[in-house]
Each structure stands twice: as C-alpha cells, then as structure tokens.
Amino acid sequence: MEKKNSILAVLAHPDDETFGMGGTLAKYAHEGVDVYLICATRGEVGEMEEKYLKGFKTPAERREYELRCAAKNLGLKEVIFLNYRDSGMAGSKHNLEPNSLFSANLDQVASEIVQNIRRIRPTIILTFDPIGGYRHPDHIKVHEATVKAFRLAADPDYQDDLNQPAYQTQKLYYHSISKKFLKWTVRILKIVGKDPRKFGKNQDIDLVSITEVDFPTHAIINYAKVAALRNEASACHSSQGGSKMSGGLMGWLQRLLGSKDRFMRAFPEPKPGDPIERDLFQGI
C-alpha cells in the first residue's frame, strides 16, 4: 500500500502555525494530506488582556486552547507539544527561566524532534528560516534543532529513546517572510508616523533589520482557496490579536500581495536555474 503524503511543521509557539505558514498548512490538509504540528512551547510569556484569561488558570492554558481551535480550522491531524517554556524575546529575563527553550540543550531538543520524525515519517518537514522570521530566540532554536533532527533521523547509527528505525524525510523547507511585504510595511509605518524599528505590541521587533536579510525563494504556495480557513484559524488566537489580522494595515497588505507563502528549500539542495516550485510535493 502506497504511503500517504504528510507534512510535519516544527514551530515554537501557539499562533506560529497560523500567522506564519497557516495558509499552506490549511491548503494541504484540505487536499487530503496528513498535516502534523510540533509546538515547542505553550507561549507562556505572551501578553494578553485580563478578559482573555476568564475561565483559564494561566496564559499558557489559554494559548493552548487557542492553538487547538486554530488546528481544527486548519485541518491539522495532530498537535504535539514538547513542553518547553516560552523564552520571550532576546535579552528577556525569561530567557534564563528553568526549562525555557532558550536555555534547553540543543541536542535534547533535537532528540525529541527525531522521535516524532521517526514515528510520523513525514514526507516533508517545514520550519523557520535561520533568523526565525524576526529573530525570536525560540524560533531560531527550533530552526537549529529541526535541522539537526532532520539529519539525525536519517542516520541509522543514531538511536532515539524509543529505538525506532532511521527515516529519511524527502524534503526540508524553511518558511520565509516576503521582503516585499516587509518593505511595504516599513514604508507605510513611516508614512503614518510609526517607527518600523520598534514594531509589535512590545516594540521589540526591528522590521528594518529583517528586510536586510534575504533568503532565496524556491517555492511559492498559493493558498487563496483556503484563505478564509486561515483567517478563521487566526481569529482563534484572539488573545494575540489574531482577530485583527484580516483587517487593518496588515490585512490590507496581505490582500495587496496575495495569499501566498514563500519557502526556501534546504533539502534536497536546489540546483542553479531550478524553477520556482508551486507545489511542495513537486518531484515526489
């Protein structure tokens, strides 16, 4: 019996799966692909208004609830938590908290991902780009651990804790943010009198520095047919502003630039002159 195609996304916090590559995950899930998600933390440090904590003991509990809501809308088959603690942005006091992802041993994080790769046996793995999209330390740690796990999972000499056989995933992609999108955002923020070097609720994201780091695009996935599902998943993350993502400045820019996700292919290594892929399963 031919094995069904599957995707494993390895990310850091509840909402990464939707605000980042959510359109792509929804597209493939609703085309019958089994889509799995590893989420390294429960977003403990994510700030939220008091009203969102009603009925929940902690922000982490609320954010897990929101993630499971989003996963249902996106059509994910399984959500796996690694149970690390959210580290906050670079330099935050939360970086050094016990069990924070920032403080975790890279080999240990990678080994946990290996166990899931060998259990799920995904056709494709998706994760963050080398700067974690916007330099979040947890995103970068997940990127590094996933790259290492991708290699170790295929190594017959590497023994995981469950003693599973080696498995070679066929493709590895990094999700990347459209620099065109970011440059438009920077321009418009300046026009409306806001500092693009102090973006976000906590003003700790430097959009200008991110536009200066570009990664090649090897695949562009159009998710227009499921954009509504992605927006419904986004609305699940209301404590993180998800209900506002389809409106306002960000919503206008997304509509302007189209419902598309961009990916850099890390494996197999692209050859010069290869055309842009419009399907992650192209060549499989």
Question: Residues with Cβ < 8 Å from 114, sequence gap 6 or more?
Answer: 149, 152, 153, 158, 160
Encoding tokens for residue 86?
A: 């959210």
Q: What is the pLDDT of residue 258?
A: 67
Q: What is the pLDDT of residue 241?
A: 84
Q: What is the pLDDT of residue 203?
A: 61
Q: What is the pLDDT of residue 89?
A: 81
Mean pLDDT of the chain: 90
Question: DSSP readout, 154-179?
Answer: T-TT---TT-PPP---SEEEEEE--H
Q: What is the pLDDT of residue 186?
A: 85
Indicate the pTM of the whole model: 0.92
Q: What is the pLDDT of residue 94?
A: 82
> Could you give phi then psi for residue 70, rounded to 5 degrees?
-65, -40
Do 196 and 203 meet the contact criterion of CB atoms below 8 Å apart?
A: no
Please tell me the distance from the alpha carbon of residue 128 to that of residue 206, in angstroms, as a whole number: 18
E strand map for the chain: 6-11, 34-41, 78-84, 124-128, 171-176, 219-222, 260-267
Residue ranges and CATH numbers for the domains of the chain are 6-178+216-267 (3.40.50.10320)
Low-confidence ranges of the chain (pLDDT < 50): 247-249
**CA-CA-CA-CA dihedral for 91, 93, 13, 107, to nearest 10:** 80
Q: In 3-state terms, what secondary structure has residue 224?
A: helix
Q: What is the pLDDT of residue 199?
A: 77
Q: What is the pLDDT of residue 205?
A: 74
